[in-house]
Each structure stands twice: as structure tokens, then as C-alpha cells.
Amino acid sequence: MSEIKNYKGRVLVTGAAGFLGSHLCDRFIKEGYYVIGMDNLITGDLKNIEHLFPLEQFEFCHHDVSKFIHVPGALDYILHFASPASPIDYLKIPIQTLKVGSLGTHNCLGLAKAKNARILVASTSEVYGDPLVHPQNEDYWGNVNPIGPRGVYDEAKRFQEAITMAYHTFHNVATRIVRIFNTYGPRMRLNDGRALPAFIGQALRGEDLTVFGDGSQTRSFCYVDDLIEGIYRLLMSDYSKPVNVGNPDEISLKDFAEEIIKLTGTTQKIAYKPLPVDDPKQRQPDITRAKHILNWEPKVSRAEGLKITYEYFKSLPKEELVKQPKEFK
């Protein structure tokens, strides 16, 4: 067990080998904490955190948080980021997605209660479903189809928020809830099915860029460093209700595909395909609450962030470009 006296405290990050979890590990190590990274590697990749393995202030635990969690010693903070996050993943492993949002969150909250630790859970803009309010603020209850194909993810996160607030009000656990909007940056998986890596991957392979529907549906993309800063500020705040963290700079997917074509210099065109069921038509965060409570707003422009992300994807081995999504059992 780590000696607490050498560090600001001990932090558990679940989903540590994932895109956001790995960046959180980096941030807390930089801030002087001892970090325990936990992941069952069903969608995470050890390559995202292998640079941390030589460090004395980091340890990795290969574990599924849907099962009982045992962490020896004191814990100051828990960040629950374990969950499939892309449609390709959660449509293939719907039961595991529901379990990590329910049983996994229950286990993390129980651990926070036992350790008297503060816990932040990663919710999502998907709790708003296909929104009837635009932009989406935290007081909007959402428009979600609980039995649609995306329901396993949407409802897992909505339950996660409900049980988190129950632990806060009934057990007096110090809880934080962040509603994360579309985020991008290094360590995203090229084959995770979301628009940005899909577009860049297609451009790098010399394929046409696939846009669903007529491309008029909108998204708002937040660079990962900005998101991590917002999460860190929320954890350190005294605010227990949900907070949107994302970039309100909205763009249509058709225009976004055109930006990627220009950025990558590809000669490929846009190919249009039918819109998937329950695909949100508008997605833009209202970040008034984050600005007021956390004094936070995104700093990295989409043009700047895309350049960094494109360079990251270009640096990947050739086999990563053609790798198919994981097959889950």
C-alpha cells in the first residue's frame, strides 16, 4: 500500500485504461496524488496508461467494478468512469453496459461511503436523449426511449445519476455528477464509431466520409484537456447537482465532415446513409452552470484541437487504421 504522507491523497479512477480515464490518471499524478487505476479492459487499452507503470505513485488493478470492489487503505477521491461509451460498444455488450452503470456505480458509491471519500460519477449528454430543448441545460429532464437501441446506455446513466443522488441525500456521501458532452483528443479509438474518429479514420484510409441522414444533425466537440479541467474543478467544488461540461460551439455533421476533408487533404467525398434509430438531432450544452459555479469554459478551439488529434491518429501504426471493433462475448 502507498504511503499517504508522500502524496496529496489517494485517488481511484475506474475505467482508467479508457480515453478519459487515462487522461484523468495523468492529471491527478501531475497534481501530486497517488493514483489507483482500475479497468477490466473490455473496451480500455493498457497502451493508454503504460507510460504510468514505471511511476511509484501509480498502480493498476485489473477488475470489473460490477463485482465487489476492494481497495486497501485510505481513499480520498473516486472517479467512476468505467463504461462503454460508444454506440458500437454498448450495442454489442448491452448487459455489461447496464451493469456497469447500475451495479458498478452502486459498488463505487458503497466504497466511497466506507472510505468517507468524495466520488464523481461520469454521466453523459445522452441522459437528454433526442432533446426537445435546445441547448440542453441541467434542469431539462430529457426525451429518452428506454427500450430503443441506445436505451441501455442512456438509462444506465440516468439510473447512475439517481442512485448517486440517493447516496448523497440518504447516506450523506460527498457526490459530484458531470454530464459529459462530445469530447475528442489523443487516445480516442479510431474504430469506436463516433463521428470524429470515424471521419478521420476514413480520410486516412482513403474512404468516403460517412454521414448519416442529411447531415443536418448537430454536435458540439470539446477538446479533452478542457474537459479534464472542468471535471477536476467540479470534483474540488462543493456542488452536488449535475453539471454540463462540454463545448457549446455547435456544428452540423455535414459541415464537420467538410472540415475533416479540408484538414486531412483527402480527395474523398461525403457518402450519405440512412439515419440510425434514436440518433440525437441536436446536441449542444448550456454551460451557464459550469461558468458560474466552476469558473470554467473551454479554451481550445476546434481548429486547434483537431490538428493535435489528427497528428495523433496519423502517428498510429498502420494496423490501427484497419483494426475492426472488438468482438465481445
Q: Which residues are catalytic?
A: 153
Q: Is residue 229 within a helix (H) or strand (E), and if so which, with residue range?
A: helix 224-236
Distance CA 246, CA 229 (A): 11
Please give, one letter per residue, the 3-state secondary structure of 114-157.
HHCCEEEEEEEHHHHECCCCCCECCCCCCECCCCCCCHHHHHHH
Give residue 39's identity as a one-letter amino acid code. Answer: D
Question: Residue 83 half-sphere exposure, CB side, CA atoms within 13 Å?
Answer: 29
* Contact by Cβ (8 Å): 91, 122: no
- Taking phi first (over 0 means left), then psi (-120 to 50 degrees means alpha), and beta for anything else, what does residue 9 get? left
Q: Which of 243, 294, 78 is nearest to 173 (CA)?
A: 78
Query: What ranges make up the beta strands (E) of the chain?
Result: 10-14, 34-39, 58-62, 77-80, 118-124, 175-180, 183-184, 209-212, 218-220, 222-223, 243-245, 250-252, 270-273
What does the block give as the cell for 235? Answer: 470534483
Distance CA 110, CA 46 (A): 27
- Taking phi first (over 0 means left), then psi (-120 to 50 degrees means alpha), and beta for anything else, what does residue 294 get? alpha
**What's the CA angle centered on 93, arms 129 and 69, to 5 degrees?**
95
Distance CA 83, CA 165 (A): 19
* Contact by Cβ (8 Å): 63, 36: no
